[in-house]
């Protein structure tokens, strides 16, 4: 379900070629995290679509109820809509969105020309992830627990850019789980519902089984110092996906949110080169 707020931040940028790109933001994120990349791709001639994922950009109670199947269905609908208008459609995503892009390429091989995996997240094993995370791997299997508890976003919020990070920090530090704050559509949710982490885990199990059936060319970008998910995730995708045409780029001056962090220009350049 989309809220009025989320619709404001959905975007479709019409290009001047027969090529289009579907961008998928991360779980608990918003289309805003893909905005810079979308504009750069559009400037290079591509049409670009990015919609808010189901039950995102609204209340935490709504976000808790989202399932990975709902997300997959919504992304498939966007993909099919683009394919009706454009001969060549690439799919790219950030974090969980990267796994969803691979899932779409597996399910709809005739619709996806190329895959872009940005900071693909199979496990949360970055240097800033609390050691208590290992407990969540057990606790989120208990419905009563995973449907009630949230994990607050913590420093450095996926950002190496200190000025940008400061803006996120001001919002995240003072946010309360009961609030329905309009700024969520800009900054994303200040909390990770444990139920969302569980849905991510379920999607990961599915996509790992699908790697051997994916043949579309793929570009994988990951930050060496990713605070949330280490480059081992990108390496795993690179080694296990069956695509004969695959490329891995490691960034040296970013954290997890590579679409808006210090090397966002390099990310855009790599994508344009790959898609062209």
Helix/strand/coil (H/E/C) assignment for every residue in 140-208: CCCHHHHCCCEEECCCCCCCCCHHHHHHHHHHHHHCCCCCCCCCHHHHCCCEEEHHHHHHHHHHHHHHH
What CATH number should be reported for the domain holding residue 48? 3.40.50.1820
Output the pLDDT for position 3: 46
- In this predicted structure, the answer to whether residue 65 has a pLDDT above a threshold of 50 is yes
Output the pLDDT for position 12: 97
Q: pLDDT grade, residue 13 (50/70/90)? A: very high
Q: What is the mean pLDDT of the chain?
A: 91
Output the pLDDT for position 139: 75
What domain range includes position 251? 4-275
How many domains does one find in the chain? 1
Output the pLDDT for position 214: 98
Determine which of 107-116, 117-126, 135-144, 218-227 has the lowest per-residue pLDDT on average.
135-144
What is the mean pLDDT of the segment spanning 245-272? 98
Output the pLDDT for position 182: 57
Nearest to 140 by CA among 221, 202, 197: 197
Output the pLDDT for position 185: 63
In sequence order, the 6+-apart residues with CB closer than 8 A to the CB of 151 are 136, 191, 192, 193, 194, 197
Q: pLDDT grade, residue 142 (50/70/90)? A: confident
CA–CA dist 144, 67 (Å, integer): 16
What is the mean pLDDT of the segment spanning 194-217? 96
Output the pLDDT for position 134: 65
CA–CA dist 182, 107 (Å, integer): 35
Who wins on pLDDT, 119 or 153? 119
Q: pLDDT grade, residue 4 (50/70/90)? A: very low
Output the pLDDT for position 176: 63
What is the mean pLDDT of the segment spanning 135-143? 75
Q: pLDDT grade, residue 169 (50/70/90)? A: confident
- In this predicted structure, the answer to whether residue 173 has a pLDDT above a threshold of 70 is yes
Helix axes 194-210, 96-107, angle to 10 degrees: 40
Who wins on pLDDT, 164 or 184? 164
CA–CA dist 219, 167 (Å, integer): 30
Output the pLDDT for position 1: 45
CA–CA dist 110, 151 (Å, integer): 38
What is the mean pLDDT of the segment spanning 185-196? 78
Q: What is the bridge-based pairing of β-strands 150-152 and 114-118?
A: unpaired
> pLDDT tens digits for 215-250?
999 999 999 999 999 999 999 999 999 999 999 999
- In this predicted structure, the answer to whether residue 113 has a pLDDT above a threshold of 50 is yes
- In this predicted structure, the answer to whether residue 184 has a pLDDT above a threshold of 70 is no
Cβ atoms within 10 Å, residue 57: 29
- In this predicted structure, the answer to whether residue 18 has a pLDDT above a threshold of 90 is yes
Burial of residue 261, with CB atoms counted within 10 A of its CB: 0-12 exposed, 13-18 middle, 19 or more buried? buried
């Amino acid at each position: 379900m989309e809220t009025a707020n989320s619709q404001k931040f959905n975007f479709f940028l019409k290009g001047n070629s027969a090529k289009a790109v579907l961008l998928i933001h991360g779980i608990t994120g918003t289309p805003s995290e893909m905005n810079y990349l979308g504009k750069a791709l559009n400037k290079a001639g591509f049409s670009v679509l990015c919609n808010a994922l189901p039950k995102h950009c609204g209340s935490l109670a709504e976000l808790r109820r989202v399932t990975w199947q709902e997300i997959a269905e919504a992304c498939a609908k966007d993909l099919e809509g683009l394919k009706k208008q454009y001969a060549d459609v690439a799919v790219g995503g950030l974090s969980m969105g990267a796994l969803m892009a691979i899932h779409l390429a597996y399910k709809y091989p005739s619709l996806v020309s190329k895959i872009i995996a940005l900071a693909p997240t199979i496990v949360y094993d970055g240097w800033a992830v609390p050691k208590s995370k290992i407990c969540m791997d057990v606790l989120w299997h208990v419905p009563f627990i995973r449907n009630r508890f949230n994990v607050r976003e913590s420093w450095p919020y996926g950002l190496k850019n200190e000025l940008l990070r400061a803006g996120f920090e001001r919002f995240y530090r003072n946010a309360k789980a009961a609030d329905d704050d309009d700024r969520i559509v800009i900054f994303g949710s200040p909390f990770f519902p444990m139920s969302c982490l569980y849905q991510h885990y379920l999607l990961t199990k599915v996509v790992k089984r699908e790697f051997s059936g994916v043949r579309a060319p793929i570009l994988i970008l990951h930050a060496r110092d990713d605070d949330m998910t280490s480059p081992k995730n990108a390496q795993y995708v690179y080694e296990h996906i069956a695509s004969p045409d695959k490329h891995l780029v490691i960034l040296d001056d970013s954290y997890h949110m590579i679409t808006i962090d210090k090397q966002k220009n390099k990310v855009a350049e790599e994508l344009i080169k790959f898609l062209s």
